[in-house]
Amino acid sequence: MKRGTSRDIRTANRYEVLRQIIAASPTSRQELAAATGLSLATVATLVGELLDLRMITEVGFEDSAGGRPRGLVAVNASGGALIGVDIAETYVHVELFDLALNVLARAEEDVRPGESLPEQLVGHVAAAVGSVVMQAGIEGARVLGVGVSVPGQVNRDTGIAEYAPNWDWHDVPLLDLLTEHIAYPLYLDNPLRAVAVAELWFGAARGRGDAVVVTLGTGVGAGLVLGGGLHRGVSNSAGEWGHNTIVLDGRLCHCGNHGCVETYVGAPGIMLNLRELSPGSPLLHPEDQTATIAALAQGMREQDPVALKVVRDTARYLGAGIADLVNLFNPEVVVLSSWVAAALGEPLVAEVREAVSRHALPRPMAATEIVLSLIPSDPACLGAATFALEGALQSVGQRNAKRTTPARSRTAPPS
C-alpha cells in the first residue's frame, strides 16, 4: 500500500482547505485554520495556491472588533466545471457542477433490463456526458474532470472495475473504455464512497465525526465516515455490508454466497419478499425493479395491506443489519440513501428505526439518529464530482512537483 509522502499530505491539506471554503464561503484564513486544525501560516500558503489556480477569489474584508480587518475568500464558482457520473443497474445519471458544486446541467439514461455489458454502459455515459456539456454551454477546456461512480469493487489507481456481482463483471478496464469516448480527466470510485462524501460535505453527516450512509438500490452497501474522514479500508473495499450474511443458508446471492443482506433488502430482494407473500400481486412488475418499488410506495400511501407488510418485512431485515452497523461503529447518524430509500421514504425509515432499536445495544442506539438523505439531487453524482475535484488538485500538485524550481518560494511544509 502507498505511504503518505509529504506531497500527498500537502495535496490532502489543499483539498481540505478548498472543501472548507466550498462549505462556508466567504470565510477567512483564521476561520479556515480553526476548522482544519492547520496552522495559520500553512493555511495562508494553501489559500495562496488556490488563488493562483483561480479556484477561489478574494472577496473583501470582515470587521473584527478592535483588530485588523480579516481578508475573506470565497470559492470561484465559474473557475471550472466538474462532472459527476452515477452508473447504476437501472440508470445512468450525469450532472455538471460549477466549482461551488451547484448543478448546472443534468442528463439521465435508462439502462434496460439485460443491458449489462461494459460497452453498453459506457455508451450511456458518453452520451450523457456530451449532453450536460452541451446543455451547460461551456467550453470543454473548463471541465476539470469527470468523477465516475460504478457499483462493486473498484481500483482507483488502475481504473479497473474489479468485481461487480450484479453484472458479473470481473476486472473490466472501465477507465480505458471510457477514455475512448471522453476526453476529460476521469476518476473512478464506487457509490458507497461517493454518497458518504456527499453526506459528509452537504448532507446529514456534515460536521459529524462518525456516520454510516446506507445505500439502498439494486445493490446495497454502507459508506463509512470514521473520525471525520472517509474510510476506504486497505484495498478500497470497506462497507460491503450488502454481502454480510443475515440468514444462514438463505437466498442465493450474485456473489455466490447464501443469505446476504442484499438478497433481502436490495430492490430484487424486495421484489422476492413481495412474490413470496403474494405471488399474484398487481404490485409486482416482473423484470422491472423501478416499477415494482414505485408500486409499493404508492401502495403504502394507499394503506394497501400487502405493500405495508412487504415494507415491514424488509424493514425487519434492515433493522437487524443496521443494528450490526450501530453496534460496530457507534455512529452519530445512519443515513438511508439511494433510489429505493428515496422512493419508500419516511414510512420505511420509521419502520427501520423501530426494528433497529429491537436489535442494537441501548447505549450506541441512544446516540444514533436514523434519517433519510436530504440531498435533493443524486448524491452519487455529487460525491463523484468531489472525486474529480480531488483528482484535479492532485494533478496540479504533480505538475508543480515536476518543475525544477517551485512555483512559489513561500511554500512551507504542513505543520
CB of 161 to Zn ion, least distance (A): 17
CA nearest to 201, candidates 235, 174, 175, 225: 225
Residue whose CB is less far from Zn ion, 240 or 390: 240
- The residue (of 155 and 257) whose beta carbon lies closer to Zn ion is 257
Q: How many CA atoms lie within 13 A of 194 on its CB side?
A: 35
Shortest Cβ distance from residue 287 to Zn ion (Å)? Answer: 21
User: Least distance (Å) from Zn ion to the CB of residue 134?
Assistant: 40
How many beta carbons lie within 10 A of that of residue 227, not counting itself? 7
CB nearer to Zn ion: pick between 123 and 259: 259
d(CA 25, CA 18): 10
- Shortest Å, Cβ 341 to Zn ion: 19
Least distance from Zn ion to the Cβ atom of residue 240, Å: 8
Phi, psi of 35 (to 5 degrees): -75, -30
Omega of the bond prior to 26 within 30 degrees of 0, cis? yes
Give Cα separations from 97 to 101, 124, 132, 196 (angstroms): 5, 19, 10, 18
**Min. distance of Cβ 248 from Zn ion in angstroms?**
13
Closer residue to Zn ion in complex, CB, 131/245: 245
Q: Is 260 helix (H, G, I), strand (E, B) or coil?
A: strand
Which is nearer to Zn ion, 247 or 277 (by Cβ)? Answer: 247
Sheet of strand 153-155: strand arrangement: 153-155, 160-164, 169-172
Choose between 255 and 294: whose C-beta lies nearer to Zn ion: 255
Query: Quick one: 257 or 377, whose CB is closer to Zn ion?
Result: 257
Residues that bind Zn ion (CB under 5 A): 243, 253, 255, 257, 260
CB of 222 to Zn ion, least distance (A): 14
The whole-angstrom separation of Cα 180 and Cα 257 is 35
Place of cell 472548507: 20
How far, in whole angstroms, is CA 122 from its chain's centroid?
A: 20
**If residue 81 lies in a helix (H) or strand (E), which one and from where to where?**
strand 81-87
Reported residue count of the chain is 415
